[in-house]
Amino acid sequence: MKKNSGSILIEAILGLAIAITLITAIVTALISSLSSSSFSRNQSIASGYAQEGIELVRSIRDVDYSTLSGYQDGVYCFNPSYVLGNCPETINDSGSTFSRKIEISKTNPKCTSSIYVASIVTWKDAKCRSNDECHKVELNTCLINLDYVQLP
- Over residues 90-110, the pLDDT tens digits come to 888 877 889 999 999 999 998
Which pLDDT does position 87 carry in this prediction? 87
pLDDT at 113 over 70: yes
Judged on CB neighbours under 10 Å (0-12, 13-18, 19+), 70 is exposed
Confidence of residue 30 (pLDDT cuts 50, 70, 90): confident
Which pLDDT does position 51 carry in this prediction? 97
pLDDT at 56 over 90: yes
**138 DSSP β-pair partners:** 120
| Listed range (5-19, 27-41, 111-125) with the worst mean pLDDT | 27-41
Whether this prediction's pTM lies above 0.85 is answered by no
pLDDT at 1 over 70: no
Alpha carbons 46 and 150: distance in angstroms, whole number: 37
Q: Residue 78: which of 59, 111, 53 has the closest Cα?
A: 53
